[in-house]
Each structure stands twice: as C-alpha cells, then as structure tokens.
Structure 1
C-alpha cells in the first residue's frame, strides 16, 4: 500500500470478511471499515500503520479526536471499531485501559476577543522566543490545525508568493500569509538548520503536537481557540463562507456556517431588524 493511500489495506479487508463470518450486519461492517480507514490515514501521517498496532497509537488517536472536539457518539463508534479489530487480531489487550474523556461541546464557539488577541501577542513577544512567536502568528493568521503545523516542511512555505501550503491525503490547501506571519517565518527559518521540518525542538527534532499545546497552555489558550479566532475574524470581515471553509479545510460547509451564527448576537440581530424595517414600505 502506498503511503497516504486511501485504498483499503488487505488486513482491513480480512477484518471485514471476519465480521461477515460472525454475522455482523452490512451497515456495521461498512461503519467499522470506514472508521478503520480513517484511523489508518491518521496513522500514516504519523509514519505508523495499522499492521503494527500498539496501545499508544490507539490512545493517541482518541486524544486527537477529543482535541478535535468530536462528539461522544463519534468517539464511542471509533473505539468500538478499534476494539473489535483488536479482537480480530487476537490482541484484545490493546484497548484495555484506554482513556476516553471527550471534550464537552459548548453552544458558543470560543474565540479570542480583541483584547485577548492583543494580550496574547504582547505576552509571547515579551517572552522573546522566536519559534513560539512564529507558531502563534501562524496558527492565528492561517487557522491551520496543530497537527498540520507540526507536519509543515520548508517546501510548504512560499515566502515569495506569500503562501503556506497544507498537503494531506487527497487534499491540498493554499493559504495566503499575512505580512507579520511571513516576516516571523522568514526570520525563524533562517535561525535553524533543519533541512525539512519548519518547527523544531531545541534538539533539532520536528516539534510534536503536545509540545505546541504545552507551550500555548502557558498563555491560557489552545490551538483550537486560535483556529476558531481565524475563522471568526474572516467571517466578521465579510469573507464569504465558501472561502473560509476552503481555507480552514472544512469538509462540511455547515461547520463553517457556525461562525456566521456565532457572529450574529442579539444586538446585531436587533440592529439588522431595525435597519430592514425602518423607513421602509411593506407592499
């Protein structure tokens, strides 16, 4: 199987046959196959694969789903598929003790206020770590996911054309770089000699997602809040929803439409109603 291929690997197909032999319904087989293919795709991005499954891989994937604020139902469905797959492998112990603590979804999308936005940039600049300043600007001004940030290579940064490129399985997004993000990226890339990775640790290794999350925690923010802020600011500045959806890499445009609802608070709705009906004749 080619790296990042979405083609079902033989092991997953064998699993589907095993499910059929155990009289599982076609819908169950289809669901489990789909969930395992998503998991395999995620594993490949981490240079792992489902043929050599380890308990830590499963826990990391569940942590990732929680970070993405997937619903309890989605996480339960995923762990159910992986648990059954572990039984098929005759390794049920792989899923023993897996911690499932889904993040409770809130009705309101959490974004940075103008004051919080300025305070975050002020504090991270005061600390003077060029890498961390660059990370904050890139997350805030491109809206990319923390996993995408950590996967960035130098070839994904086009300073001449002011672009950042995100490449994933069957997906390529080109995001314009703001002047500030561009300047910090230029200076940071010149500060280290890693041949491939954009963001690296003090030891010169590719930076991990947990390291980024830990760094941001000092400033009482998380990558998802910075991503939400990017999307919300674009919507508030009249960028059309299709463009925001494309830049953010949302597969479902309804996800992007939440930012439209979030921006329409009670006061704005009242103002819109007053504007629509004041000094107007209704025919």
Structure 2
C-alpha cells in the first residue's frame, strides 16, 4: 500500500519510469506490451487493481472512501484466508459462496459496496488474463431502497434516518451539556454547540465540517456569511450560514481567544481538540471523525433519542426541511452537493407522500 501512495505523489516522468521498472521486474507485460497478470501473484493482482482501477481516477478520493475500499479488500482477504483459498482458486463456486456470505453478514448498502468491489476486481482479473473466465457475471447484489432509510427485516416499513424539528432542537441543546471537563469548559461547550448548529442549519457532510478552516468563511457582496467547502469528487460549493449560526460561530471564536475578522489566508482548523490544552494558542489538532461521532452519540444518549442517530441524520433532516418549505429542487441539489438531482428527488418523493393528508383534507367528499 505504501508503494501505491508513492505512485500517487510522484511526477509524470517518475511515474512512467517507476511503472516501467515495476512491470518489467514482475514480468507483467505480454508480447504486445499490454498489461498481463496471467503469471502474476495474488499480491500483484490486488496492487495493480488498486493502482489502475481505484487510485488512477480524475477524482481525488476522500480518506473515508479510501478506508472503505481497504475495508472491502480486507473482508475479501480474510474470507479467502479462512477458507484456505488464493485468488487463483476463485471460480464459479467460490464467487457464489462469497456472494452469499456477504449478503447474509452485511446490511444491503454495505453488501452492495463490498460486492461491487469484488465484481470490479474480478473484471480487472479477466481483462488482464489473471482469470480465463468472466466470473463477475455470477455476482448478484441485494436490492436496496434509495435514500435515507434504515431497513430491517422485522420492520413493516423502512425507518427514515432523520429528525423532526422538535427532536432536533432537543438534541442540539444537549451538545454543550455533555462537556465534563472543567479545564476549557466554556470553549468546549461553545465548540460543541457550533458543531450542532452547523450540522443542523447547513446540511454539511461530516467530512466537510471537519475540513473547515477559519479561512473557509467569507462574506458575499450583500454582506452575508458563506462557507466554501470541498465535497465529494473535490467539487467546490458555497453554503450560506444562518444568522443564528453566525452568532454562535463568533461566540466560539471569542471563547478560544481567536479573532472574529475573516481571514481568507487562515488555514487553521475551525474545529480542533481542546482537551488537556494548557493554552488555547498551542498547535491545533483538527477534530477527527471519531471525536465528532462520539460527541453526537453522547448528546443523543443525554437527549434520550434513538441510539442509531449519527451525524449524517442532520444532513437528511436539513434537506427534507428545505423541500418541505418549498425551496426549489435544483437549489436544494446544489446546496446539498448532490452529484445527481435524482438523489434530491428521493427526498422530494417522500415529502410529497407526507403531504397527501393535507391534499385529502381539501377535497369535499361529503355534501
């Protein structure tokens, strides 16, 4: 994996030179100088698959996405090891057995992702002569309902992963209350409250929230505050910040003894670890997803809400509330950073379903 990371960072000239040497030393080129893994090792197959099909793309993958790919590879490797199989041993029965194993062990969305990883690996193996048969054709993925749902076999209908307005407000109020530390108690409370407001009032993804710097904020020509974020696929978008959230943001900045004037050159993290800091002006360590997740879960527990609530629930809640308040679909799509409007439309379909009772009441069925 270190070699893969190395290939990502070097120049084009170095990349060609290193790749030529690697392919030559491992005998991975056929007589036509095409990539051939017909006589290669399992390690070569997996490594070349990551280099050519995962990392060599036009989009820079997020740490979260890379972690998911590594997790999928680990799941496959553990399964093969437990059954004393090598990649060369994979055929029709092994594909069907692994397919069944994944569908039984994982929820639909996770199973779909892991089986898609497996399918792509088998496709790559066939393209490079590692496999003589088109094994990927035997993979069958489970069906999954689109959108923000939790589906359990014991449920008559899927559970929506979002909060109503009352529950959201109660949960937000618990974010500062979970702070137990006496040292830097006020900055911690204000930081946690800011986290809650940014999640709830912007629909920002957790990864985008954690990547915010003080220099990510700017005032537009009308004097309104915006946050510039980099979303999935390295796509840039601007998110307007509500007045209530602006007030909490500035209050937080004052509590950590930092200026409230916007500095576009300031690359210091907006949210950072404050525990055990003797001085607030020491080097700031950016808050991790694990820490954010813990903050949300502790607030959820304190509020007495269902334990499955995660940071992403706020995003679903925000998008639904926009559509319930008649914000145009195209505006919501751009605001939320959805790659395709069909994703946003899933929310709209459910909002329309929830409003059917209102429409029914308008109909005069009795004289």
TM-score per shorter chain, which class?
Answer: 0.5 to 0.7
Q: Give the Cα–Cα distance (whole angstroms) in 2 for the partners of residues 243 and 137 of structure 1.
A: 21
Q: Is the 8 A contact 1:144 1:227 kept in 2?
A: yes
CA spacing shift, 1:207–1:241, aligned 2, 3 Å: same
| Structure 1 counterpart of 2:117 | 78
**Number of aligned pairs?**
240
Deviations 1:175-227 (A, max 9, x none): 11011111111122331559610000015310001110111011223111000
Change (3 A) 1:264 1:132: same
Aligned twin of 2:167 = 116
- Name structure 2 gaps, 5 residues minimum: 1-6, 10-14, 39-47, 75-107, 129-143, 152-157, 179-185, 259-265, 278-283, 301-308
Structure 1 residue runs without a partner (length 5+) = 4-8, 24-28, 63-68, 89-101
d(CA) in 1 for partners of 2:118, 2:51: 10
Q: How many Å separate the matches in 1 of 2:225 and 2:190? A: 20
Root mean square deviation, CA, Å: 4.5
Inter-CA distance 20–259: structure 2 relative to 1 (3 Å threshold): same
TM-score, normalised relative to structure 2: 0.53
Q: Who wins on radius of gyration, i.e. which is larger?
A: 2
Q: Which of residues 325, 334, 340 in structure 2 aligns to 1:246? A: 334
Among 48, 60, 70, the alignment partner of 1:41 is: 60
- Quickly say closer, same or farther: Cα 1:264–1:157, change in 2 above 3 A: same
For residues 39 and 105 of structure 1, what CA distance do their matches in structure 2 show? 32
Q: Quick check: 1:150 aligned with 2:210?
A: yes
Q: Is the 8 A contact 2:175 2:193 kept in 1?
A: yes
Alpha-carbon distance in 2 for matches of 1:213, 1:139: 12
| 3-state SS, counterpart of residue 299 of structure 2 | coil
Tell me by how many angstroms 1:74 deviates.
2.4
Please report how far the alpha carbon of residue 248 of structure 1 lies from its aligned counterpart in structure 2 after TM superposition.
0.8
Judged with a 3 Å threshold, the aligned counterparts in structure 2 of structure 1 residues 143 and 104 are, in CA distance, closer, same or farther, namely closer
Q: For residues 97-246 of structure 1, what are the structure 2 equivalents within 5 Å?
A: 105-106=150-151, 107-127=158-178, 129-158=189-218, 161-168=224-231, 170-190=234-254, 191=256, 196-202=268-274, 203=277, 204-220=284-300, 221-246=309-334
Q: Would the alpha carbon gap of residues 164 and 22 (structure 1) be closer, same or farther in structure 2, given more than 3 Å must change?
A: same
- 2:94 paired residue number: none
**Farther-moved stretch of structure 1 (161-170 vs 134-143):** 161-170
Q: Give TM-score scaled by structure 1 length.
A: 0.67
